[in-house]
């Protein structure tokens, strides 16, 4: 049975008159294709990436599995609409804490229309993309009670300076609920989620090593999802921390050149997380 996902933190969400993604009980995520070239571009990327023997297996795990496309009933009830069928990367968690981070100091590419470039430039300048090389598009994290979770609005997450972004990354791995701005985040989960041999930092470093050499693709306006299970950490089990790359409507051919825009944003994010791990108790106020 298809349903609207409970844990979407960014992107086009299902609402009145807006087609959004759907999920089923089999671990599949159905992303509606955009009607213009963005839809065909994303399908082309997934087909190319899935069949490219040059992509190492350890890198493939950072991308959702692609199962093809299918016409299904749209979430708004408007009739059949083509959808990408992807791995639902959230389905392995009961109460996932999720952060969506758009990577790159610029989300536009030179071949785009003037209107699109102007729109992206405006948003890149108004958010932290231009200054930090990434922007936090959205997040959700659970507390220790069933009904307790924090999902701040986009105005809070996107337009941040360096200190504010670092504080939000600390809040994401804190055991105390961050909804109250007077509570200083304890960063108690940082070593379990960001650190360790299977933690977020090591995964980001592995991805960085690939981006330092790969010249196949240039990833504009793509996001990194950070996912983990807060309840598992508090019960001293594995956090299940994962990173996944998503949103490939604006991927271009690399043509033998390194993707410095994505690599630069990735390095900036790595720096922030590394600093949190080396000074988890640093007192910052947002």
Instruction: Say which range, 51-55, 80-84, 142-146, 271-275, has the weakest mean pLDDT.
Output: 142-146
Instruction: Mark whether 216 and 126 lie in a shared domain.
Output: yes
Alpha-carbon span 255 to 54, nearest angstrom:
15
Instruction: Say which range, 40-44, 92-96, 211-215, 239-243, has the weakest mean pLDDT.
Output: 92-96
Instruction: Mark whether 146 and 58 lie in a shared domain.
Output: no
Domains: count for the chain: 2
Instruction: Mark whether 164 and 224 lie in a shared domain.
Output: yes
Instruction: Mark whether 50 and 118 lie in a shared domain.
Output: no
Instruction: Mark whether 78 and 106 lie in a shared domain.
Output: no
Residue 8's closest CA among 112, 80, 99? 99
Task: Give yes or no for residue 284 having a pLDDT over 60.
Answer: no
Residue 85: φ, ψ to 5° = -105, 115
Domain hosting residue 236, numbered range: 96-278
- Residue 244: helix, strand or coil by DSSP? strand
Q: What is the pLDDT of residues 24-61, one digit of tens each?
A: 999 999 999 988 888 999 999 999 999 999 999 999 99
Q: Is residue 155 part of a domain?
A: yes
Instruction: Mark whether 185 and 77 lie in a shared domain.
Output: no
pLDDT of residue 285: 46
Considering only residues 150 and 166, tell me which one the structure prediction assigns the higher pLDDT.
166
Q: Is residue 51 part of a domain?
A: yes
> pTM score, two decimals?
0.90
Q: What is the pLDDT of residues 78-129, one digit of tens each?
A: 889 999 999 999 999 888 899 999 999 999 998 889 999 999 999 999 889 9
Q: Is residue 11 part of a domain?
A: no
Instruction: Mark whether 112 and 252 lie in a shared domain.
Output: yes
Instruction: Mark whether 107 and 238 lie in a shared domain.
Output: yes
Considering only residues 153 and 262, tell me which one the structure prediction assigns the higher pLDDT.
262
Instruction: Mark whether 226 and 158 lie in a shared domain.
Output: yes
Instruction: Mark whether 81 and 220 lie in a shared domain.
Output: no
pLDDT of residue 182: 64
């Amino acid at each position: 049975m298809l349903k609207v996902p409970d844990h979407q933190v960014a992107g086009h969400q299902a609402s009145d008159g807006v087609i959004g993604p759907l999920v089923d009980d089999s671990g599949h995520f159905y992303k509606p294709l955009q009607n213009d070239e963005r839809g065909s571009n994303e399908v082309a990327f997934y087909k190319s990436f899935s069949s490219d023997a040059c992509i190492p297996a350890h890198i493939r795990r950072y991308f959702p599995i692609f199962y093809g496309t299918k016409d299904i009933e749209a979430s708004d009830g408007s009739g059949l609409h083509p959808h990408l069928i992807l791995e639902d990367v959230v389905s392995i968690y009961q109460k996932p804490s999720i952060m969506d981070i758009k990577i790159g100091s610029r989300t536009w590419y030179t071949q785009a229309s003037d209107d699109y470039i102007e729109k992206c430039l405006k948003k890149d300048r108004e958010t932290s993309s231009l200054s930090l090389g990434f922007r936090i598009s959205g997040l959700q994290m659970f507390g220790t009670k069933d009904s307790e979770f924090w999902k701040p609005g986009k105005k809070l997450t996107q337009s941040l300076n360096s200190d504010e972004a670092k504080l939000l990354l600390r809040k994401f791995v804190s055991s105390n609920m961050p909804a109250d701005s007077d509570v200083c985040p304890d960063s108690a989960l940082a070593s379990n989620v960001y650190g360790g041999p299977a933690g977020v930092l090591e995964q980001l470093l592995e991805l960085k090593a690939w981006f330092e050499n790969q010249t196949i693709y240039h990833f504009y306006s793509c996001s990194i999802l950070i996912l983990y299970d807060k309840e598992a950490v508090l019960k001293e089990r594995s956090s299940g921390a994962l990173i996944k790359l998503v949103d490939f409507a604006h991927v271009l051919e690399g043509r033998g050149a390194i993707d410095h825009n994505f690599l630069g944003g990735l390095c900036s994010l790595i720096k922030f997380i590394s600093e949190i791990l080396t000074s988890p108790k640093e007192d910052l106020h947002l």
